[in-house]
Amino acid sequence: MEFRYLGNSGLKVSEITYGNWLTHGSQVENEVAIQSVRAALDAGITTFDTADVYANTLAEKVLGKALKHERRSSLEIFTKVYFPTGPKGPNDTGLSRKHMMESIDGSLRRLRTDYVDLYQAHRFDYETPLEETMTAFADIVRAGKALYIGVSEWTAPQIREASVYAHRLGFPFVSNQPQYSMLWRVIEEAVVPASEEVGISQIVWSPIAGGALTGKYKPGAPVPAGSRATDTKGGENFIKRWLDDETLTRVQKLQPIADEAGLTMAQLAVAWVLQNPNVASAIIGASKPEQIASNVAAAGVRLDAGVLTAIDDALGDLVERDPAKTASPASRVG
């Protein structure tokens, strides 16, 4: 495992982050989830990402249980706030001071820790003044409940405005967590330059496009039994955008590129996002422990210019680059 600084801070994170969206408390049984966390630790991963909304708080509980005997200072634990949890009442969502203050305490209880290393705004809240949100973040940091602050899927202007508040209020704003993969590059035109300008890094999710870049989905063939595409709890809705025959045919062209590089297609996909110098870490999930060791092998891999060009040629105009597709919901859910 290799490590990178998160933004302009002194915090180092593992190049591979273990995330439990769609798995813990949902897609896999708790014991398998705990085994997967153990496998992540054994592979050298120290950074773990979750959110209160995942499985309606159950994912945080499973992660807290899995990590309870670990040395806390040897880990970086991340969680998020924004989406509705619990009974989904009028104040059970968004980035109001009330919701954030209640949510951080709930997350800490479930994670069995006194603090999180990174507390993230899961989306931008158009209905709460940004000053209120950022002041709440500042108070959470001052209370010792979070060490650093980040956001997820914020636009370039939102990131710049948040940075102004962070500097004014005196707390470390260090990261953005966007979707990013060979197929989904919408952050490259605007978000990455804005992030470099204000000194934050990307912690990217879905680097394998929900599994579409593994090569296991074949054009004209039924989806494999037990795969993400059969997960009725959310996985199938996310990955179905990549399962048309044209996309899968292009993805199959990546196989000889991966072979030449001595990588699996999944490793190639994870290594690809890590070539972006503004990416601090790539989040991987797992429905079974053995998937982790394989994907972790992408850490430290350097792809030369010829490989990167070959990937672009294989995928062609299927790549989504429209920066307008980086956006939070226009209004709250719930």
From residue 222, alpha-carbon distances to 21, 216, 330 in Å are: 25, 11, 36
**298 burial via Cβ count (<10 Å: 0-12, 13-18, 19+):** buried
Residue 74 lies in a domain: yes
DSSP secondary structure letters along 7-25: TTSS-EEESEEEE-TTSTT
Enter the tokens of residue 315.
């995928």
Q: Please choose, from the candidates 256, 63, 279, 59, the residue with its C-alpha nearest in 3D space to the C-alpha of residue 177.
A: 279
Q: How far apart are CA 51 and CA 59, in angstroms?
A: 7
pLDDT at 242: 80
Whole-prediction pTM: 0.90
Question: Residue 144 region, left (φ>0) first, then alpha (ψ -120 to 50), else beta?
Answer: left
Residue located via tokens 């870049």: 213
Residue type, 241: R
* Structural domain containing residue 86: 3-325
Q: How far apart are CA 131 and CA 134, in angstroms?
A: 5
Task: Clarify whether 119 is annotated catalytic.
Answer: no
Residue 330 lies in a domain: no
pLDDT at 226: 55
Catalytic residue among 54, 148, 180, 217: 54
Number of domains forming the structure of the chain: 1
pLDDT at 230: 46
Residue 334 lies in a domain: no
For residue 319, the domain's CATH number is 3.20.20.100
Residue 333 lies in a domain: no
Enter the tokens of residue 168.
């004014």
Residue located via tokens 């190049």: 15
Angle, CA of 63, 49 and 44, to the nearest 5°: 85
Enter the tokens of residue 327.
């956006």
**Per-residue confidence in pLDDT tens, the chain, 334 aa:** 999 999 999 999 999 999 987 655 455 557 888 888 999 999 999 999 999 998 888 899 999 999 999 999 999 999 999 998 888 888 989 999 999 999 999 999 999 999 999 999 999 999 999 999 999 999 999 999 999 999 999 999 999 999 999 999 999 999 999 999 999 999 999 999 999 999 999 999 999 998 899 888 887 666 665 555 445 555 556 677 888 889 899 999 999 999 999 999 999 999 999 999 999 999 998 777 888 888 899 999 999 999 999 999 999 999 999 999 987 777 655 4
Contact 3, 13 (CB under 8 A): yes
